[in-house]
A and B are shown apart, each in its own frame.
Chain A
Amino acid sequence: MPLTNLIGALRQQPWSLWWIQFRRFTRMEIRRNLFTRRAWWVYFLAFIPAVIIFIHLLVDTHPGFGLSDDTQVLAGVVQLYYIRLGVFFGCLGIFSRLIRGEMIERSLHYYLLSPVRREVILLSKFFAGAVSAVVVFGTAVIADFALMYAGYGAAGTDYMLNGPGLGQIESYLLIVVLACLGYGSIFLLLSLVFRNPMPGALLLLGWEAINPVMPSLLQKFSVASYLRHLMPVSVPAEGIFALLTVETEPISAWVAVLGLLVLIALVLTYSCYRIRTLEIRYTTE
């Protein structure tokens, strides 16, 4: 009865203690991710589109533009800026700091010497990183959305609250959440495996860019290709956009979400294995 034994063994584990440790560790990490000076550039990456839209709102009065044009612009901002650059580099900064950054600062050993299972440490760090990234980038996307339609007065409000706007913002938020989880898990693993995760990250950036020309099997190993199917508004692939926009075979939204979650689970499982064998030798950092 190996399955019964496994269930029995799992039941005997101190889950309640792990849960307390997970929450406390996550709280500490979120504090460090969001409220330290190093976080400023993540805020910068997230809110720079909002600042630009706000300046447009003050200076321009939408000459010759309509709601549908700005909806296209917003879709482009999310797909081409946030997913390709903002969330990508924001997550690179947040998640590669969680393990490798603390090894460089020589402070990781304090956590590895605490009575917390290393898997709990890793998952707490991942969750804290994901919450931090989602809070920053999710807030930024909501701000972009609100500022974009604020200039239309009652028509803009009606579009956001009663029209397709609400569904679009929900989709964008789902995309941001999945992008943060997907890129976050990969950058966390890269920082566990490599002393310098930057070359790996740049390779991933290149992979994400050329992924559309890959066979459909290889396209399954791309975060952006899953997210593309969740976009509520498609960005026309013209000119330079044609090079950057992912063109994968159409799949349903739930398959895209599930596929990405499976990818994240696989990456995290391997990361848990890696952290169990991680050794502290700061002299080699």
Chain B
Amino acid sequence: MKATDTIRFENVSKFYGEVLGVNRITLTLSPGITTLVGPNGSGKTTLMNLMTGLVQPSRGTVSVLGLPPSNATEFFCNLGYCAQFDSFPRGVTGFQFVLDSLMLFGMSEEDALHLTVEALERVQLDGEAAHRRIAGYSKGMRQKIRLAQAIAHHPRVLVLDEPLNGLDPMARAESLALFQELGRQGMHVVISSHILDEVDRVSDRVVLITGGYLIAQGNIHEVRQEVRDKPMQVLIRCDSPELLASKMFSVNHCVEARLHADGRGVFLRTGDIDQFYRLLNEIAVEGLVKIDAVAPADDDANAIYQYLIGSDGSPS
């Protein structure tokens, strides 16, 4: 893929005095939704700030769609950043905040007004609220207005630091649907979030980072495949889960079986997923067990996070 279509980190390190931000990150992100996963202080925000030029790398280079952050005029026409800082210029209304941002692009006032209304509609912030001062907004509304400001100019790259914080379940679902739509349109959407269960569903790839180091990156299923030392867990929905479990245990790579709470399925943990599926096919062909559905049970960002980083935040 061409440099003008990707976000590139080339051997990037960032030190804050003696403190390590990120170290020797080499990463290429193609269009779609990318989730940055890592514990607090792992370097996710530093990575995003480097990507958007808010901090400069101590070593290495960062480019977004082939542009360096120093080329502000072109760079920020292509990039929107919804930072995690929950603060705004004093005294402005939501509408004025988005409009002022757009006016700095040099467009006509008419176009800026049109884009402001469009952005507010996209984040579903109603007109009455938009004309109130941001100081009186709820946390969810502040999150929405920041998102509106970041997407208002139709950037090709959208960077979102903890965009689901403070949103209620309905607003989270709407935001995720918006991110998915933007990803489908060919945009780069880079998200960091602690709400992995939800973000995971919309992500095309994950970047796992801890202690400033890149641990793994790629399609979530590929990353899971790379974690070979951790047995994979699969949920099989069938009419005879006990029989299936006993059959599967006849091979030595099956290390754990647990019945589903409703009694119509079984979680099986295996050290060799290829052989596991082969055996499952044979059982299905035999007809002894009627298999309704098969789905990976730990093939998500949360499980990978736990396997690779661990609950204490240190690489396991």
Q: Which positions in A face B, CB cutoff 8 Å?
A: 14, 17, 20-21, 24-25, 28, 32, 36-38, 102, 105-107, 109-118, 276-277, 279-282
Contact = CB atoms under 8 A, between A and B. Distances in A.
12 contacts: A20-B106, A21-B104, A28-B103, A38-B90, A102-B89, A107-B89, A107-B90, A110-B101, A114-B76, A114-B101, A115-B77, A116-B76
Contacts of A112: 53-54
Contacts of B16: 281
A282 B85 contact: yes
Interface string B13-53: 00010000000000000000000000000000000010011
The 5 closest A-B pairs by CB, nearest first: A106-B87, A115-B76, A280-B54, A114-B104, A279-B55
Contact of B73 (A102, A107, A117, A280): A117
B54 A24 contact: no
Interface of B: 16, 49, 52-56, 70, 72-77, 79, 81, 83, 85, 87-91, 100-101, 103-106, 149
Contacts of A105: 87, 89-90
B91 A115 contact: no
Given A32-B90, A37-B91, A115-B73, 16 more contacts: A24-B103, A24-B104, A32-B89, A38-B90, A106-B87, A107-B87, A109-B83, A112-B54, A113-B52, A113-B79, A114-B72, A115-B106, A116-B72, A116-B104, A277-B56, A280-B54
A277 B305 CA distance: 35
A115 B106 CA distance: 9
A105 B85 CA distance: 10
Given A110-B149, A113-B81, A17 B73 contact: yes
Contacts of A25: 104
A110 B89 contact: yes
Contact of A280 (B55, B88, B89, B101): B55
B192 to A, nearest CB: 16
Contacts of B81: 109, 113
Given A113-B52, A114-B76, A279-B56, A28 B100 contact: yes
A20 B108 CA distance: 10
Contact of B88 (A32, A107, A116, A281): A107
A21 to B, nearest CB: 6
A17 B106 contact: yes
A162 to B, nearest CB: 45
Contacts of B87: 105-107
A36 B56 contact: no
A115 B90 CA distance: 21
Contacts of B72: 114-118
Nearest to B72: A117
Nearest to B149: A110
Contacts of B49: 280
Contacts, number: 79
| Chain B contact residues, majority secondary structure | loop
B90 A36 contact: yes
B104 A32 contact: no
B88 A36 contact: no
Contacts of B52: 113
Contacts of A111: 104
A270 B168 CA distance: 47
A145 to B, nearest CB: 33
Nearest to B105: A115
A101 to B, nearest CB: 10
Nearest to B52: A113
Nearest to B150: A113
Contacts of A280: 49, 54-55
Contacts of A28: 100, 103
B85 A113 contact: no
A34 to B, nearest CB: 12
A281 B85 CA distance: 11
B43 to A, nearest CB: 14
Nearest to A124: B104
Contacts of A116: 72-73, 76, 104
B16 to A, nearest CB: 7
Contacts of A281: 16, 55
A115 B75 CA distance: 7
**Among B76, B77, B89: residue with most chain A CB under 10 A:** B89
Nearest to B70: A276
Contacts of B73: 14, 17, 115-117
A281 B53 CA distance: 12
A41 to B, nearest CB: 15
Nearest to B73: A115
Nearest to B55: A279
B162 to A, nearest CB: 15
Contacts of B100: 28
Contacts of A113: 52-54, 76, 79, 81, 83
Contacts of A279: 54-56
A223 B79 CA distance: 42
A142 B55 CA distance: 46
**Among A14, A109, A117: residue with most chain B CB under 10 A:** A109
A61 B76 CA distance: 63
Nearest to A120: B72
Nearest to B75: A115
